[in-house]
Chain A
Amino acid sequence: MSFWQALFMGLLQGATELFPVSSLGHAVLVPSLLHWSFKQSDPSFVPFLVLLHLGTAGALLVLYRQQWVEIVAGFFRAAIRGRISTPTERLSMLLLVGTLPAGVLGVFLEGPIKRLFASPYEAAAFLIVNGVLMLGFELLRRRDERRAAVDKAPRLEQEERFADAAQITFVAAALVGACQALAFLPGISRSGVTIGGGLLAGLRHQEAARFSFLLATPVILGAGLIEVPQLFSGGVPVVEYVLSAVLAGLAAYLSARFLLRYFRSGRLDPYGWYCIAAGAVSLALLHFAL
């Protein structure tokens, strides 16, 4: 992988990790469509991915630094007291409950699933599935808006009818967390399925995005930190990789800021249509070897 390819992959990963469009799908598809020859299944590629993920997790930590301080303090307060007293303490416990299924499924299923579905064809097909899922989540949300009789109201008013992240049930948090396992399939977006899961649990779009980003941070950070020793194996171009990670972090930070603003009134539909179009075009390009 050349220097510029590494920077490009960093930018691509950072930008697509938080958008509901699947970073893994894009990381499999784009190099293949550009006829780049590096093999992502190669063991030497792992340290690169580790640093990109640490860059993304770092961006999320910076974005939510104040909230994380409160969440961690709230977690210890509630854990020691054995009782939840504030919304922040409840959010900290919801994040723990949501992280556990993702961690269990990640440790035991991620490797086998990624090995089974690693080809660009599968990534393109799952990207279409991801698009259909996003449209499906919005279809169900519109049904909920009709039931709440707010379907004719302005978007901001519609959103006000739905809940904050700290108000969802623990079962819903566990299910949203478990949804992250779907993202081991290249083309299925982690943030997309968790935001969608949050919408099904009755969260506002912006709160669903916030819960998704908070939920992603410990998983991405934990998985990244544990692989750090691999960076010190011989032949790893650390400077090149670190620069890519910084770029990934910067792109992730700007993506998160944009998405949190967008989801004040925006929906998942544009990303759904994008995924369907990108998946279909990729399948055609791959099929005709263009």
Chain B
Amino acid sequence: MKSSSLAIGLGVLGIVFIVIAVLYALGVLQFFASTDTGPHYKHALLFGVLAIASFVAANFARPKTA
């Protein structure tokens, strides 16, 4: 399934995941964390990996010129 809009959507999702990863790493976000204070590196790593996966998926979805 190749489409520019899907690729752009996945790219934006990747950026959102990066922002969330940074917020978890800085300890700003505390949602679904085991403690209410401090950085959550496990969550940050997860969202970092999700961001990479989104960018890879965006590159796969991008229509390619022959």
A interface residues, Cβ below 8 angstroms from B = 79-80, 82-83, 93, 96-97, 99-100, 103-104, 107-108, 111, 222-223, 226
Contacts of B43 in A (CB 8 A): 107
User: Do A82 and B62 contact each other (CB < 8 Å), given the known contacts A107-B42, A226-B45?
Assistant: yes
**Of B32, B45, B59, B60, the contact of A222 (CB 8 Å cutoff):** B45
Shortest Cβ distance from residue B37 to the other chain A in the assembled complex, whole angstroms: 16
Closest to A97 in B: B53
> When chains A and B are docked, how far (Å) is the Cα of A91 from the Cα of B60?
15
A-B contact count (CB 8 A): 34
**Of B34, B41, B53, B55, the contact of A100 (CB 8 Å cutoff):** B53
Contacts of A108 in B (CB 8 A): 32
Closest to B24 in A: A107
Closest to A115 in B: B34
Do B49 and A99 touch across chains, with their CB atoms under 8 A apart? Answer: yes
Contacts of A226 in B (CB 8 A): 41-42, 45
User: Do A83 and B45 contact each other (CB < 8 Å), given the known contacts A96-B53, A108-B32, A111-B34?
Assistant: no
Closest to B62 in A: A82
Closest to B63 in A: A82
9 A-B pairs within 8 Å (CB atoms) are namely A79-B56, A82-B60, A82-B62, A96-B56, A97-B53, A99-B49, A100-B50, A100-B53, A103-B49
User: Do A223 and B53 contact each other (CB < 8 Å), given the known contacts A80-B59, A82-B62, A82-B64?
Assistant: no
B26 within 8 A of A: no
Do A100 and B59 touch across chains, with their CB atoms under 8 A apart? Answer: no
Chain B 12-52 interface mask (CB, 8 Å, partner A; 1/0):
00000000000000000000101000000111011001100
> When chains A and B are docked, how far (Å) is the Cα of A24 from the Cα of B62?
43
**Of A80, A82, A100, the contact of B49 (CB 8 Å cutoff):** A100
**Of B32, B41, B46, B55, the contact of A103 (CB 8 Å cutoff):** B46
Contacts of B49 in A (CB 8 A): 99-100, 103
Interface core residue of A79, A82, A93, A99 (most chain B CB under 10 Å): A82
Do A107 and B64 touch across chains, with their CB atoms under 8 A apart? Answer: no
Shortest Cβ distance from residue A107 to the other chain B in the assembled complex, whole angstroms: 5
> When chains A and B are docked, how far (Å) is the Cα of A147 from the Cα of B64?
41
User: Do A82 and B53 contact each other (CB < 8 Å), given the known contacts A103-B46, A107-B42, A222-B45?
Assistant: no
> When chains A and B are docked, how far (Å) is the Cα of A108 from the Cα of B43?
8
User: Do A107 and B56 contact each other (CB < 8 Å), given the known contacts A82-B64, A226-B41?
Assistant: no
Contacts of A97 in B (CB 8 A): 53
Shortest Cβ distance from residue B26 to the other chain A in the assembled complex, whole angstroms: 16
User: Do A83 and B34 contact each other (CB < 8 Å), given the known contacts A96-B56, A223-B42?
Assistant: no
